[in-house]
Amino acid sequence: MNNKYRITLKKKISALTIFPLLLLGIVVIIMSVTVVKNSMIDEIKEALKSAATATFAAYDQNAGDYIEASNGNIWKGGYNISKSENLVDSISQRTGTEVTFFYGDKRIMTSAKDKDGNRILGSKAGEKVASTVLNGGEEYFSSSVSIDGVMYYGYYVPVLQNGVEKPVGMVFVGANKAEKDSAINRIVSIVIIVVCIVMACCIVAVILFSNSITSSLKKGIGTVQAVATGNLGVAIDGKLSKKPDEIGDLYRAIGQLKEELTRSIETIADNTSAVLGASEELGNTTKETGQSMQEAKIAVSNITESASQQADISGIAYENVNGMGKKIEQTASEMKDLEENADAMRDSENRMAETIKELMESNLHLQELIQEIGQQTIQTNESAQKISEVTRIIASIAEETTLLSLNASIEAARAGESGKGFAVVASQIQSLASQSNESSQGIDEIVTELIEDSGRAVAIMEKVNNTINIQSKNMQKTEDMTEEVMERLNASIDSMKVIETSVLYLDNARKEIVGTVSELSDIASQNAAATQEVCASTDVLAGHSEHVSASMEELRRIAKNLEESIKHFTVN
């Protein structure tokens, strides 16, 4: 075959390994990019949902209904939502998002500002958002929300009125789309770089592996070629023959073949010398010639037995190698399935670890917001107590005014006609004092109820805060356990990759050795057939021993030619 177009074993191993590896790398990159993008968007969605829910809770914790005042301001009980700049700015700074409160589909309060630094107020939400949130009463996530020309990931939560099923408004929390997409692209780039590095390492390992196999086979071919040229004294590589794999089996088989050929050539050489000696010494006696033929027959029988034994050994070796190959192929298939399952488990563990981290961060943000709400509730409680003190002062003044009006009425009665006008004024003062007293009592009752509600709210927030602390601890434990599982899983995957590499190495070596053993078996069969023919010829020659004398000269000539042929082989 023309060497220009010959496909070497090294090229075959490289092609059968590198091409699937490149295809697998491309598939892994595509799947990783898709999974990472989807996971990051889901995490953004959950983070925005948590922030929107916390914002709604901050507004909804105020007692009372959502109403619109005559001046256009929106109130929640006694809290003016249209003036809640501090609240939305605080949430925006803590979460890194933009916060907006919609009353209906109109933007009432927001942390988003235009290029001039003014808040973007008064604009309306899109039709799809209004239809889904306001009309359908459902939460809504969008990956393309435009605010003053800037794109955001946005999440909408409906604002419900007590006793009313249809939402009266909605809370929006948005994250800058360009910044989030930039973070996603960085992670995707890292994944692609890692996969490319792993593929490059695997390709280098395949090249080194194929070089090792072809180098060993070339040494074996060189040894066989040296034997074919007649050099039976060629040395066998001791290191390669001691290997416990198919390469070692091949070198041991070559060594055994060399030894068998050496013994056969030595036997033939000895017999040739014996034939020459016998033909010279026993040229005149047929009896001695017959004995010499008998010795030649015995020697050829030994050669026949050796050749038959060699053929049987080669056949057994061929069957063993084939059986071992089937087991190697089965092991390789099972290792691939196991590795795919391990990769899927590792991807799931990675996504779960990232989700736990995001949940912990959301818990921290929520805990900070609850603490801020608690501080505001305490300040409200303190203000209510101050109002209560003022109402007590008003009630005291009303009581004193009532006493003064009674005294004035008595003095007016004593004055008679001249005191009637003064009596009317005293009566009006008494009526006003009574009304003031009733109003102060009403205010005092409202303030007392407000203080009680605030105290309950503070207690509830403390319980929520304790619950969040416990949840954070549990998530931390879960994260620690996940990291431990990931470490053990990665160690298992590394071990499986080493085993898979070894199995591939064994399978490739097995294929080469099958061909070599098959060729050796064919050669052994041919040798056995040839020696059987020689044995038959020897029987015929022994049966015609009476013609030995006449054919002695011809036998001497044949023996000399055989001696010349044996000189082609060099034993030492």
- Per residue in 220-246, pLDDT tens? 777 777 777 766 677 776 776 777 877
pLDDT score of 530 more than 70: no
Q: How far is Cα 507 from Cα 493, in angstroms, rounded to an integer?
A: 21
- DSSP string of 88-119, one letter each residue: HHHHHHHHTSEEEEEETTEEEEES-B-TTS-B
- Per residue in 403-446, pLDDT tens? 777 777 787 777 767 666 667 777 777 777 677 777 777 777 77
The answer as to whether 134 is a domain residue is yes
Report the pLDDT value the prediction gives residue 101, as an integer from 0 to 100: 95
Q: How far is Cα 447 from Cα 390, in angstroms, rounded to an integer?
A: 11
Which whole number is the average pLDDT over 194-211?
Answer: 84
Which whole number is the average pLDDT over 175-187?
Answer: 89
The secondary element (H helix, E strand) that includes residue 209 is helix 177-228
pLDDT score of 80 more than 90: yes
Report the pLDDT value the prediction gives residue 398, as an integer from 0 to 100: 67
The answer as to whether 146 is a domain residue is yes
Angle between helices 177-228 and 246-281 (to 10 degrees): 10
The answer as to whether 196 is a domain residue is no
The answer as to whether 239 is a domain residue is no
User: Which candidate, 16, 23, 42, 47, places its Cα nearest to that of 362?
Assistant: 47
Distances (CA, A) of 482 to 13, 294, 345, 470: 39, 84, 11, 18
Residue 26 lies in domain = 12-189
The answer as to whether 354 is a domain residue is no
165: three-class secondary structure by DSSP = coil
106 torsion bin: left (phi>0), alpha (psi -120 to 50), beta (else): beta
The answer as to whether 166 is a domain residue is yes
- DSSP string of 52-82, one letter each residue: HHHHHHHHHTSSS-EEE-TTS-EEETTEEGG
Q: How far is Cα 562 from Cα 565, in angstroms, rounded to an integer?
A: 5
Pick from 304-318, 352-366, 498-512 the range whose average pLDDT is largest.
352-366
Residue 426's Cβ-count burial label (10 Å; 0-12, 13-18, 19+) is buried
The secondary element (H helix, E strand) that includes residue 278 is helix 246-281
The answer as to whether 79 is a domain residue is yes
Which whole number is the average pLDDT over 449-453?
Answer: 76
Long-range contacts of 157-161 (CB under 8 A, 24+ apart): 157/49, 157/52, 157/53, 157/55, 157/56, 157/133, 158/133, 158/134, 159/56, 159/59, 159/60, 159/66, 159/101, 159/102, 159/103, 161/65, 161/66
Reported as a pLDDT band with limits 50, 70 and 90, residue 537 is: low
pLDDT score of 173 more than 60: yes
pLDDT score of 290 more than 80: no
Q: How far is Cα 369 from Cα 97, in angstroms, rounded to an integer?
A: 14
pLDDT score of 208 more than 60: yes
Distances (CA, A) of 317 to 62, 346, 358: 88, 42, 61
Angle between helices 9-60 and 85-95 (to 10 degrees): 160
Token duo for residue 68: 């619109």
Mean residue pLDDT across the chain:
76
Q: How far is Cα 76 from Cα 324, in angstroms, rounded to an integer?
A: 80
Report the pLDDT value the prediction gives residue 165, as an integer from 0 to 100: 84
Distances (CA, A) of 556 to 284, 291, 534: 13, 16, 18
Reported as a pLDDT band with limits 50, 70 and 90, residue 191 is: confident
CATH of the domain at 129: 3.30.450.20
Lowest mean pLDDT among 132-136, 196-200, 241-245, 293-297: 293-297
pLDDT higher for 289 or 169? 169
Report the pLDDT value the prediction gives residue 112, as an integer from 0 to 100: 92
Total domain count, the chain: 1
Q: How far is Cα 433 from Cα 406, in angstroms, rounded to an integer?
A: 11
Token duo for residue 91: 């949430």
First vs last Cα of the chain: how many Å apart?
Answer: 34
Sign of the alpha-carbon torsion through 245, 247, 250, 251: negative
- Per residue in 24-55, pLDDT tens? 888 888 887 888 888 888 999 999 999 999 99
CB 551 within 8 A of CB 287: no
| Residue 319 amino acid letter | E
The answer as to whether 503 is a domain residue is no
What does the chain come to in residues? Answer: 572
